[in-house]
Amino acid sequence: MLSCLMWEAWGPRVRPVEKAWPGPWDPGMDGQLMSPALPPLMPGQQVWEKLLGCETPRINVFMAVPTIYAKLMDYYDRHFTQPHVQDFVRAVCEERIRLMVSGSAALPLPVLEKWQSITGHTLLERYGMTEIGMALSNPLTTVRVPGSVGTPLPGVEVRIVSENPKKEGCPYVLHAEGNEKETQVTPGFKEKEGELLVRGPSVFREYWDKPEETRQAFTWDGWFKTGDTAVFKDGMYWIRGRTSVDIIKSGGYKISALEVERLLLTHPSITDVAVIGVPDMTWGQRVTAVVTLQEGHSLSHRELKEWARGFLAPYAVPSELLLVDEIPRNQMGKINKRDLLRQFYPSNQGDLRPGASEPDSPLPRAP
């Protein structure tokens, strides 16, 4: 039911859907099974050929994770260098593709902006999980806000909550509650971050043969706990990251690793980044940036700090920099930050030091 409503929210359902989605989980597959669609799963190197091929029918929806879009842009930069070829690519994408969607991981602003310049398409960002299906989405026809996941889809209800410190009555404090039509914010909780809860017809019933995990996944009143930190701001919902790994607690501040990552990706020397919270005796956690650089570029920690201070609050500026050749990702293009912590801090104690590192010269590349 909800998948059909999702496709209605994204427009006509009568033309083919193309996807370049890696991994075992295929978002939107249930909607395609209930709607006319042609769902070929394309290896990354064949995507441009498929999109630009003369025999390819007009594409209704093209869906991919941010990593795929980044790899397509890399291929574009290396192979589509002539102006007339670039004009052809843009013309074909504008004429033959109705909608292009990004999901399953945060979409970096540089990727969104460059893809728009290449194809003429503003990627539509949305939010969903295996347990809930598609839940929130930017609008089809009105303004899409970069970095936001929009508003609830038809039939979906959401809440933003925090733990009730009084431990009396309801176990959580309600910050905001909304549906496809409106969101009500509790007085005193405007733009306050909290955990995102979801309820609706697409939410799963249970984890098979795991009653305890199922019980822990829901609130006492039947809302699914996503484990993601979110905020309602400027009429849109924003995902700040996984509460467990993307919210860094340092010196009493809560820092969104995803927001720091989005900013660092605008640095001209940085091609990829993962921001992690490393345990620290003094600060609780220190902000550490794991970074890959453009070929032939160098970057010292001092240079990064001086640049970042112009955009970030002082407590959010990375106190440590690790340069690597590649940041490992899973099949869905996501970074497992717990694995990064284990890789660079094998003691699993984060090399607990009294204070944050302040190196003034380029750090050696991590193994």
Say if residue 336's pLDDT is above 80.
yes
Where residue 365 falls among pLDDT bands split at 50, 70, 90? Answer: very low
Whether 67 and 52 share a structural domain: yes
Give me 248's structure tokens.
């860094």
Q: What pLDDT, on a 0 to 100 scale, did the predictor assign at position 351?
A: 45
Query: What CATH number corresponds to the domain at position 322?
Result: 3.30.300.30
185, β-bridge pairs: 176
Please give the model's pTM, rounded to 2 decimal places: 0.76
Q: What pLDDT, on a 0 to 100 scale, did the predictor assign at position 280?
A: 85
Map residue 240 onto helix, strand or coil. Answer: strand
- The string of pLDDT tens digits covering residues 56-73 is 678 888 888 888 898 899
Region 255-279 average pLDDT: 94
- The string of pLDDT tens digits covering residues 175-186 is 999 999 999 999
Region 107-112 average pLDDT: 89
366, β-bridge pairs: none
172, β-bridge pairs: 163
Region 204-211 average pLDDT: 93
Whether 237 and 295 share a structural domain: no
Query: At which of 219, 241, 263 does a domain end?
Result: 241
Residue 59 domain boundaries: 41-122
Strand pairing of 17-20 and 59-64? parallel
In a domain, 10, yes or no: no
Query: What CATH number corresponds to the domain at position 186?
Result: 2.30.38.10
Say if residue 356's pLDDT is above 90.
no
Whether 158 and 236 share a structural domain: yes
Whether 172 and 108 share a structural domain: no
In a domain, 264, yes or no: yes
Whether 287 and 332 share a structural domain: yes
Within 186-226, residue ranges assigned H as helices are 211-217
Where residue 157 falls among pLDDT bands split at 50, 70, 90? Answer: very high
Whether 289 and 233 share a structural domain: no
Say if residue 226's pLDDT is above 90.
yes
Give me 273's structure tokens.
């980044």
- The set of residues, in sequence order, having a beta carbon less than 8 Å from that of 363 and lying 6+ positions away, is 300, 301, 321, 322, 323
Say if residue 286's pLDDT is above 70.
yes
Q: What pLDDT, on a 0 to 100 scale, did the predictor assign at position 209?
A: 93
Say if residue 36's pLDDT is above 80.
no
Query: At which of 186, 219, 241 does a domain end?
Result: 241
In a domain, 131, yes or no: no
Say if residue 285's pLDDT is above 80.
yes
- Spatial CA neighbour of 153 closest among 194, 107, 200, 197: 200
CB atoms within 10 A of CB 133: 24
Within 10-151, residue ranges assigned H as helices are 29-33, 44-52, 66-79, 83-96, 109-119
The least confident of 137-146, 191-200, 312-321 is 137-146
Average pLDDT, the chain: 84
- The set of residues, in sequence order, having a beta carbon less than 8 Å from that of 121 and lying 6+ positions away, is 93, 94, 97, 99, 100, 115
258 and 246 Cβ atoms separated by less than 8 Å: yes
Q: How many structural domains comprise the chain? A: 3
Whether 168 and 112 share a structural domain: no
Burial 330-358 (b: 16+ CB within 10 A, else e): eebbbbebeebbeebbeeeebeeeeebbe
The least confident of 19-23, 139-143, 276-280, 327-331 is 19-23
